[in-house]
Amino acid sequence: MKSLTTLWVSALISTTGFAGQQAFLVQNSGWMEPFYQDKNSQFKPLINAVIHTVSQPNDKVVVSVFNQTNALTASPQIIYQGAANKDLKSLLNEQGIAKKSVHTYADTDFKEAVISTITGPFQKKSGIIWIFTNNKNSPNNDVATIERNKEFYELIHLDSAINKVIAFPLKMPVQGQHFKASGLMVYALAYGSAAENELNQLVQSGQMSKVFTQQPALLKPLDKEAVRLIPTGVKNSAAIQASLAADQKTLVFSLEPKHVIPELKLTADLKNNFYPYNIAATQVDAKLTLANGMQAPIQISQKDIQLVGKDNVKLEFNLPIPSHLIVSPWSLEVFKAMGKAVTIPATINVTLSEQKLSLSDEFKENLQHLFPGDPLSDVFVAPQNIKSSTAAIPVQFKLQYPLWPVVVLMGGILLLIVLVILAMALASKRKRYEIWVNGLKKQTIQIKPFTKCSIYGEAGREIAIVKRGVSEATVQNLDKEKTVTIRSI
């Protein structure tokens, strides 16, 4: 069987312009008999509901039934390919259990179904693959089962082409002629980074809660975004408020420039993002990274942590405030903010070293209840090669500046505009003057501000110059025998 590693480059190239394609693989091998035969089975209605819940109407979807390729038929078989806006109830209702011979039900090969989907309808481009199964991977129904289970484990956890995997164990009691079952497993595999982003959005948006009422179990990745911080207060400043943004991930610190301190003592809960695993780490480190690349270490009150199940660990972080980035209230940034908070972005990078992951007892009990008598599926065993993990927590320092500098600045700009307009108006207004030479009226002139006018005698000789500034005009006499005066009209 071809490894997905050889397809990894194709997945990376296809990330650009991701069109939102998804595949829905429905197991129809012999072990699935009760899900198809029980008249009260909600198996097919669930599949139809999931397709229309997680897809947009114009998304490309492919729906296939799968077992294991045999002498009678190939696997998987596409039963629908096209836009997600089609009701697939009738197509799903037509599906039944597959056989590998006249009297024998077909076996199951998960990896074959996944790789055939990626190389076939996906055309090696990024997409999300959903698998509806009773969690029994049984190729050839013989000793090869162990090897095939190992292959599927490596596909899920170790193959770099699969970026993210989540699972939903569901309660679904059904009874068939030969078998019965208590539960169903739904997997979602993101092939490529674009599909990973879309799967993350589906989880974070809460859209999937319309069909899945429980939190998804994360199988991969188990080396990034391990934890998140939930602020509970700031110990050394009542003027600084700490909160979570609407995305429930970004830390927001609201403060005024006059209350800025070099370092704040943040109390926060460290929350486990790796449900259903417990996280144990012997070393926890953190640092603050600014947008310009500058970094500063963050002291943490506790180095060893034990995150059991959904429990939180209460910690204290000595977080430096980048005071050198706080701008003057008269700066352009503050003026552009127009009274709104000026935001300084940063990131808290948390590293868990010597990490050990173990499946929570509560989740184990749930699996045993849903799949009684079955051994714990290997896919829920965390890879031993993962020794550390990281988490990048967005941070926003929101500085609330007073509005009066903006008001003063705007007032100054308005005053300047008024003065300019007034000066322009004055510059365009002419004023009339009578010109008197040696006590006799000679002529009448009109003169604009900041201009001059020459006065001439009988012989055409210049005898005076009339100059005007902003307001009144003045006379400069050039002929000692002539006395020139002006009178405003």
Is the pLDDT at 376 greater than 60? The verdict is yes
- Tell whether 369 is covered by a domain: yes
> Can you tell me the mean pLDDT for 70-98?
92
Q: Is the dihedral of CA 27, 221, 283, 347 positive or negative?
A: negative
- Tell whether 363 is covered by a domain: yes
Contact 24, 112 (CB under 8 A): no
Say yes or no: 129 and 234 in one domain.
no
Is the pLDDT at 126 greater than 70? The verdict is yes
Structure tokens at 427: 């510059």
How far is C-alpha 242 from the chain's CA centre?
Answer: 21
Please report, for the domain that includes residue 51, its CATH number.
Answer: 3.40.50
Q: Give the domain-ending residue among 220, 250, 266.
A: 220
The rounded mean pLDDT for the chain is 87
Contact 390, 223 (CB under 8 A): yes
Residue 406 in 3-state DSSP? Answer: helix
Say yes or no: 327 and 183 in one domain.
no
Nearest CA among 297, 204, 203 for reference residue 250? 204
Structure tokens at 189: 């595999």
CA angle in degrees (0–180, nearest 5) for 181-185-187: 160
Say yes or no: 186 and 292 in one domain.
no
346: left (phi over 0), alpha (psi -120 to 50) or beta: beta
Q: What is the pLDDT of residues 194-243, one digit of tens each?
A: 999 999 999 988 889 889 988 999 999 999 999 999 999 999 999 899 99
Instruction: Report the percentage of the chain scoring pLDDT > 90.
Output: 55
Say yes or no: 402 and 440 in one domain.
no
Say yes or no: 178 and 121 in one domain.
yes
Is the pLDDT at 317 greater than 70? The verdict is yes
Q: Is the pTM of this model over 0.85?
A: no
Burial class (CB in 10 A: 0-12, 13-18, 19+), 159: buried
Beta bridge partners of 77: 65
pLDDT at 131: 97
pLDDT at 53: 93
Q: What is the pLDDT of residues 112-122, one digit of tens each?
A: 999 999 999 99
- Tell whether 415 is covered by a domain: no
Contact 226, 279 (CB under 8 A): yes
Contact 319, 266 (CB under 8 A): yes
> Can you tell me the mean pLDDT for 468-473?
84
pLDDT at 14: 42
Q: What is the pLDDT of residues 279-295, one digit of tens each?
A: 998 889 999 999 888 89
- Tell whether 424 is covered by a domain: no
Q: What is the pLDDT of residues 154-186, one digit of tens each?
A: 888 999 999 999 999 999 999 999 889 999 999
Residue 379 in 3-state DSSP? Answer: helix
Cα end-to-end distance, the chain, whole Å = 106
Cβ-based neighbours of 278, under 8 Å, separated by 6 or more:
272, 306, 307, 308, 309, 357, 358, 359, 360
- Tell whether 385 is covered by a domain: yes
Beta bridge partners of 50: none
pLDDT at 459: 82
Say yes or no: 232 and 209 in one domain.
no
Say yes or no: 28 and 96 in one domain.
yes
Edge-to-edge order in the sheet of strand 263-272? 227-234, 263-272, 312-320, 295-300, 283-290, 342-353, 389-399, 251-255, 241-244
Say yes or no: 258 and 140 in one domain.
no
Is the pLDDT at 152 greater than 90? The verdict is no
| Beta-carbon count within 10 A of 201 CB | 10
Per DSSP, 207 falls in state G
Say yes or no: 251 and 380 in one domain.
yes
User: CA–CA distance from 199 to each of 128, 208, 218, 281 (Å)?
Assistant: 7, 10, 12, 28
Instruction: Report the percentage of the chain scoring pLDDT > 70.
Output: 88
Please report, for the domain that includes residue 279, its CATH number.
Answer: 2.60.40.10
> Can you tell me the mean pLDDT for 312-324?
88
Find the helix packing angle between 144-157 and 110-119, rounded to 10°.
50
Q: What is the pLDDT of residues 246-303, one digit of tens each?
A: 988 999 999 887 778 889 999 999 999 999 999 998 889 999 999 888 899 999 999 8
pLDDT at 55: 93
Contact 199, 128 (CB under 8 A): yes
Q: Give the domain-ending residue among 345, 375, 407.
A: 407
Q: Which domain holds residue 349?
A: 227-407
Say yes or no: 58 and 20 in one domain.
yes
Q: How many domains does the chain divide into?
A: 3
**Higher per-residue pLDDT: 408 or 154:** 154
**Higher per-residue pLDDT: 148 or 366:** 366
Is the pLDDT at 10 greater than 50? The verdict is no
- Tell whether 425 is covered by a domain: no
**Higher per-residue pLDDT: 102 or 347:** 347
Say yes or no: 203 and 245 in one domain.
no
Tokens 């990376």 found at: 12
Report DSSP letters for 341-353, one per residue: PEEEEEEEEEEEE
Q: What is the pLDDT of residues 63-74, one digit of tens each?
A: 999 999 888 889
pLDDT at 359: 92
CA distance 227 to 352: 9
Q: Which residues of 431-459 are buried (b: 16+ CB within 10 A; e: fewer)?
A: eebebbbeeeebeebebebeeebebebee
| Beta-carbon count within 10 A of 258 CB | 9
Q: Give the domain-ending residue among 154, 186, 220.
A: 220
Is the pLDDT at 344 greater than 90? The verdict is no
CA distance 208 to 50: 8
Torsion angle of C-alpha atoms 140, 146, 148, 149, degrees rounded to 10: 130
Bridge-based pairing state of the strands 356-359 and 277-281: antiparallel
- Tell whether 264 is covered by a domain: yes
For the chain, the residue count is 489
pLDDT at 1: 43
- Tell whether 420 is covered by a domain: no
Tokens 């002929």 found at: 479
Say yes or no: 290 and 164 in one domain.
no
pLDDT at 8: 43
Q: What is the pLDDT of residues 412-426, one digit of tens each?
A: 889 999 888 877 776
Cβ-based neighbours of 5, under 8 Å, separated by 6 or more:
159, 160, 161
CA distance 177 to 124: 40
pLDDT at 255: 86
pLDDT at 233: 94
